[in-house]
A and B are shown apart, each in its own frame.
Chain A
Amino acid sequence: MYRNEDFIQQTGDLLARVEEMNLLAPDDLDDTPREESIHASVEVMVDDDCMTAWVTLFPARGNGDSLTPDTVVEELERANVVFGIDYERIGEGVFLCNTEHRTVYSIEAAHGRPPVDAVHEHLVVVYSDKIPPPKERAGRVDHRAWSRIPVVPAGTILARTVPATPGRNGMTVTGTEIPFRSLKPAGVQPGENTSRTGTEIVAAIEGVFSVKDGVVAISPLLEIKGDVDFGTGNIDFHGDVLLHGRVAGDFTIACTGTLRSMQTLDVYGVQCGALECRQGVIGHRDAVLSADGPVQARFLQNVTVQAADTVAVATSMLAARITTAGTIRLGRNSTVIGSILRASDGVEAYNIGSPGSAATEIYLGIDFDIDHRLADIRDYSMALGKRLRDVRLRLRHTDNGDGRKELQNLEQELRNTITRLGQQASDLVHGLDRNENAELVVRGTVYTGTYIEICHRSFHVDRPMKNCRIYLNRKKGLVEAEPLNAQHAGRNR
Chain B
Amino acid sequence: MNKILLVDDEAMVLDVLTQLLEMNGHTVTASTQPKDVLKLIDTIRYDLYIFDLRMPDLTGADLAAYTRERHPEARILIITAFPGDPLAVEALKHGVFALVKKPFEIGKILSFLEPVDVSK
Contact = CB atoms under 8 A, between A and B. Distances in A.
A and B co-occur in one complex = yes
A423 interface: yes
Nearest to A436: B120
A415 B89 CA distance: 36
Interface class of chain B by DSSP: helix
Contact of B106 (A381, A384, A459): A381
Given A359-B84, A462-B89, A477 B120 contact: no
Contact of B12 (A377, A385, A451, A478): A385
A10 to B, nearest CB: 147
A386 B83 CA distance: 26
Given A371-B107, A374-B107, A426-B110, A385 B92 contact: no
B111 interface: yes
A423 B84 CA distance: 32
Nearest to B99: A458
Interface of A: 359, 361, 366, 370-371, 374-375, 377-378, 381-382, 384-386, 388-389, 415, 418-419, 421-423, 425-426, 428-430, 432-433, 436, 449, 451, 453, 455-460, 462, 474-475, 477-478
Nearest to B92: A460
Contacts of B21: 422
Chain B: interface size category? 20 to 34
Contacts of B44: none
B23 A423 contact: yes
Contact of B16 (A375, A382, A455): A382
Contacts of A382: 12-13, 16, 103
Contact of A378 (B12, B19, B96, B103): B103
Interface string B7-48: 000011101100111011000000000000000000000000
Contacts of A432: 107-108, 110-111
Interface string B84-120: 1000110011001111000111111011101010101
Please give me the 6 A-B residue pairs with the lowest Cβ-Cβ distance, nearest first: A385-B16, A422-B23, A374-B107, A422-B20, A451-B83, A429-B110
Contacts of B118: 474-475
A418 B15 CA distance: 11
Contacts of A478: 97
A371 B97 CA distance: 18
B12 A375 contact: no
A418 B106 contact: no
A449 B97 CA distance: 17
